[in-house]
Structure 1
Amino acid sequence: MSLVESDTDLISIAKEKDGLLEQSQAVGKALCRRDGHRTLLNAVYAKFLRERYDSGAYLTNWRIRRWLSSSRNPDQPFFMFVNYLEPHLEYDPPKKFRDEFLPEGMDPSYAEAVNQDAWAYICGQIEMNERDFEALSALYKAELRYLDYRIGQVYEYLTEHDLLEETMIVITGDHGENIGDHGLMDHQYCLYDTLLHVPLLIRYPEQFPAGNTCDELVELKDIYPTLLEIVKNEAIENSSHSVRGLQELMTEGGKEYIFSEYMKPQPSMNALKTRTGHLPTDIRKYDRTLHAIRDTDWKFIKGSDGSSELYNISSDPFEQCEISNEYPEKVDELTLVLDKQLGLFDNVSESPTVDMSSSTQERLEDLGYLQ
């Protein structure tokens, strides 16, 4: 949903040329292309407006408001999926939000200069200390606060069109972030709760009274049958989807177990080596598939490399003390349930291949959307 998806072509082209004449000729050729007008707009935006606004949530909200005002058929119900990318590396929140979360005594220039290259850090090419991660955490919190502000605007747009009270709103995240946690950055290579425990908020007064909270175990896939129930359809009986909506889980009790999986390392080991130029031997431990099972007290993670990790979530919520050797019976119990769950997916077909540019593939790998 972004007008500027990367450094603008116009600026990049100019930088590649040394002389003024060469720069002018290169820019002229770029503007004569069929998409030259878009290149020009991107360059103007990057030069004059990027510092004032942003290329993500601001433009996304502008498109939402425009669609609600001029494109929506008022006689038809609608489903809108909005994907904000702000809380992804690199964290670059607007200044007024950034300064709100900086630790006491930290100069803004320190946060601006902190390393945000996750792969260089993971591969040991850049060292980071506790203060660095405090700065990075502040930037991340500022991104979330800024996103909260933009989501608030969506509420205002719905109110302007008398839609708020009859619209179901679901706010969630597809993952969290590691900010030095477990020796990692970004949201790859693990199944710890730093990535799995995400917000889930629902506003729909008819079914979800305001102020109610739920401490039961639920999964994001539970949103699917919930939406179907709201529109009076029946949940699809498919083993890859939950068939219990959140209304039922909240009133009759949550799930005994919840599951997660990490199918392939992204970036792959080869891609990581290409980007960093060097791949330490210990980084190869991330070249694996991971599956996890959790109940209210225990969390078990199983790797395709034969690794296993057990945590008592009730006493060790940050998963700092691995205790699989101390509780072999619990490992066996959870392994049995996990393997039974994995059997349900044995016949799932591979995803189809899609042609894309190398830059698009690299960006999607960074975000973790390619498997």
Structure 2
Amino acid sequence: MTSPEILWNPGRGAPPPSTSDDLRPLEVHRRLPGYEVTPLVDAPTLAADLGIGRLWVKDEAWRLGLPAFKMLGASWASYRSLVRLLGHEPEWSTTDELAAALAPLGPLTLATATDGNHGRAVARMAALLGLGARILVPEGTATARIDAIAAEGADVSVVDGTYDDAVRAAAALAADDVLIVSDTSWPGYTDVPGWVIDGYTTILDEVDQQRVAAGAGPVDAVVVQMGVGALAAAVVGHCRDAEGRGPLVAVVEPLTAACGLRSAEAGGLVDVPGPHRSIMAGLNCGRASEVAWPTIAAGTDVFVAVDDAAAERAMVDLAGLGLEAGESGAAGLAGLRALCEDGSVDVLGPDASVLVLSTEGPTDPEAWVRIVGRPPTATP
């Protein structure tokens, strides 16, 4: 196991003002097929092992019928994109009614780049609305993830190179009848990835409601995965007030794709060259989203980069709780363990209450069997 890398954020301050509007994604998500509040699991044995008072795990192994949280951002961003094209907010209560309301737009295709989960979510949303889907994946993407995207009815293409190469190729597909629904941004393309960030606030709205129902107070720390930064930006935006106060926020990445840590270190966005070969496939990103980064840069307290062995241990730990997390899904717990063992985070003491997000199920079942030692109970 390679030692983790920990960086206290030199740019920590008050996050920029939110640019989201008054529409709540949760109200749209509740109208999608299969919406249910995902579990918030109290894990006392694991908390004791880590030396903290209480550990909450938000389990996103299944969300809206898919094995990851990504449908929340993909559905909201797709919805906002289509409504803007339509020119007004339609009345609907089912996706069939929404599809009928969007019919005047004519044939459309939703397209994006992905390491797996986001692309499958965009493809699922396209299928629900009777639209086409083109999904681009980087070379080295697990066959199981490609097959799962194709099973949604999408046209899947493998791009030579990294995830970032796939992003550039997907951006080039934009046309009057092709809407790009990307969870990362680039100059001139910020609205849609901003809506992806907004879509993830449903997770945090649910957590707030669940903690109140459990009679629990506020958490002292939140540990969240990075990737391009959409989820991390949603967490920071939710947890921080206008003065930057709130629980400690820790962001977790693979050692080989630590674009957030390197950018914080440099004082601005930098590229981490590939190839990015971590088993934490959803976090194999060489550059953070330009729309997410200002919020992350100001509102994150500490960045932590971990190796694949740490993610594998976290998968086994979560399986011991009955939670089936994929490699990227378990990265948050891997980062928390690294911080607890480092001992430099004062707030992570025996009275601390900590929230970890487990962001995906076993999206590569063969790898999950190899790591955990048994088949998952449900195959995505």
- When the two structures are superposed, what TM-score results if normalisation uses the length of structure 1? 0.30
Higher relative contact order (Cα pairs below 8 Å, separated by 6+ residues): 2
Q: Which has the larger radius of gyration?
A: 1
More strand by share: 2
Say which structure is richer in helix.
1
TM-score normalized by structure 2? 0.29
